[in-house]
Amino acid sequence: MCYMEYDVVIAGGGASGMMAAALFAGSGLKVALVEKNGQCGRKLLLTGKGRCNMTNACQWEDFREHVHPDPGFFRPSFMGFSNRDTVEMFASMGLQTAVERGKRVFPVSGRSADVRDALLSRITGAGNVDILYNCEVMSVLRSPSGHFVVEILHSGDRMRMDEIVAPYVIVATGGLSYPVTGSTGDGYRIARSLGHTVTATVPSLVALVPVSYNLSLSGLTLRNVSLSLMVDGGEVQTEFGELTFTSDGLEGALGFRVSRRAVMALEEGKKVEAVIDLKPAVPVTELKARVEREFTPGIQLSRYLERFLPLQAVKPFMDANPSLNIQNLPVRLKCWKLQIKGHAGYRRAVITAGGVSLREISRKTMESKSVRGLYFIGEVLNLDADTGGYNLQIAFSTAAAAVRAVAAAGPISL
Ligand SMILES: Cc1cc2nc3c(=O)[nH]c(=O)nc-3n(C[C@H](O)[C@H](O)[C@H](O)COP(=O)(O)OP(=O)(O)OC[C@H]3O[C@@H](n4cnc5c(N)ncnc54)[C@H](O)[C@@H]3O)c2cc1C
């Protein structure tokens, strides 16, 4: 067993851990970034379909609407390191960004690898941060003298346990989504072992699976439709935009936007339905008038439907509406009901909702209120957001808040 001393241990080299390490670079503090994979930022590479939607350029008033469950908790860290700071920091590292539709910010190169590499080059350039690859944080113990003992398992050539002693530990192990990238909920175990509460977690921004899902819909995107989420018969959310059907179920902007509430309702055993309005901008009276004008007896209903639906959707739509006829068509076009039986799970979820309870964490510094020197940043917290670059900004801002606090407190001799 090897014994090492550092000022700061960052557990997890994902988006938040790398940002924290990059902000510590040149600080004079001796920092260990401990990553269980053989590379950092495996999830970051997948973000934005490989293009990395690294933040969203909207104002806080809009930004906050996309943060769950407590945007007020996130406000101080956002104010301390905002979307603008993200853009400026990457620009200072030579990575230019562009704002796209919906104020989504992407690297101009269109490569998420460039975002990771910019952070890595800042981290390794200063000389005060060591990256320990293939090292899994197994436990974080508090010693009687007040510092932390971090037990790490090397998964490289030979399995070996080592210990790092440090006065500060930053837990940046992510949540449970896309476990193949390394986020397997280890931070929750660490948090609990140090007396923290972890609120129930569910996959969010995840495909919703309809009952008797017609796989022939897979690959279809419906544009300019609206999707209403019904829970136990009552409408709880309506969104307008693009809905994509994949082999897993309902996805795309609309599917993802309603998924958080849908999954939570499913977990509570409630009846969940997704209702698609294929013509949200056209009142039913207008549709009726159009049908009366256009439809002549000789036309097959399925052929006529092609005027309202992509060919791929015609049969599934008819199957879902067995009593469909020309009289009820206008109403049915505005009310294609799919009962939801489940979701694609953490394996395919973009984010984990739930996590380390925010009540036990300082909103200014991300420090534990009960364990001095212990910090939680990124997805491990009970903080998540919609698609659009908001989740990475949460990772970056919470990382910056913790780094500011640790740097201000300075080194503590062991
Ligand atoms: C497919 C996909 C696309 C996405 N696209 C976007 C997007 O475009 N924009 C956006 O804002 N958000 C996006 N997200 C969400 C975003 O990736 C996350 O919010 C963000 O990565 C969270 O950062 P994190 O550092 O908290 O966790 P992670 O990035 O998950 O990093 C956690 C790290 O900790 C390591 N680790 C875990 N346990 C241990 C341990 N015991 N010891 C050592 N290391 C450990 C893991 O290996 C991992 O490297 C996407 C997510 C997915 C899955």
**Confidence at residue 352, expressed as pLDDT on a 0 to 100 scale:** 98
Same domain, 72 and 120: yes
For residue 164, what is the domain's CATH number? 3.50.50.60
Work out the percent of the chain whose per-residue pLDDT is above 70: 99
**Confidence at residue 141, expressed as pLDDT on a 0 to 100 scale:** 97
**Confidence at residue 1, expressed as pLDDT on a 0 to 100 scale:** 80
Using the 3D structure, point to which of 343, 359, 378 is the last residue of a domain: 343
Q: Check whether 62 has a pLDDT greater than 80.
A: yes
Residues having CB within 6 Å of any atom of ligand 1: 11-17, 34-37, 42-44, 46-48, 52-53, 136-137, 172-174, 177-178, 181-183, 186, 350-351, 378-379, 389-392, 395
**Confidence at residue 414, expressed as pLDDT on a 0 to 100 scale:** 64
Same domain, 7 and 123: yes
Query: Are 207 and 217 within 8 A, CB to CB?
Result: no
How many angstroms does the Cα of residue 301 sit away from the middle of ligand 1?
Answer: 48
**Confidence at residue 146, expressed as pLDDT on a 0 to 100 scale:** 87
Residue 129's domain spans which residues? 2-202+351-409
Q: How much is the mean pLDDT over the chain?
A: 96
Q: What is the pTM of this model?
A: 0.95
Lowest mean pLDDT among 86-90, 211-215, 219-223, 350-354: 211-215
Lowest mean pLDDT among 44-53, 243-252, 291-300, 353-362: 291-300
Q: Tell me if 414 is assigned to some domain.
A: no
**Confidence at residue 155, expressed as pLDDT on a 0 to 100 scale:** 85
Q: Pocket of ligand 1, candidates 350, 352, 381: which has the most ligand atoms within 8 Å of its Cβ, to mutate? A: 350
**Confidence at residue 44, expressed as pLDDT on a 0 to 100 scale:** 98
* Total domains in the fold of the chain: 2
How many angstroms does the Cα of residue 174 sit away from the middle of ligand 1?
Answer: 5
Q: Check whether 298 has a pLDDT greater than 90.
A: no
Q: Long-range contacts for 75-79 (Cβ within 8 Å, ≥24 apart)?
A: 75/363, 76/363, 76/364, 76/401, 77/363, 77/364, 77/366, 77/397, 77/398, 77/400, 77/401, 78/393, 78/397
Same domain, 160 and 11: yes
Same domain, 27 and 172: yes
Task: Report which protein residue has its CA nearest ligand 1's atom 37.
Answer: 173
Mean local confidence (pLDDT), 367-387: 97
Same domain, 181 and 267: no
Nearest ligand 1 atom to the CA of 152 is 42
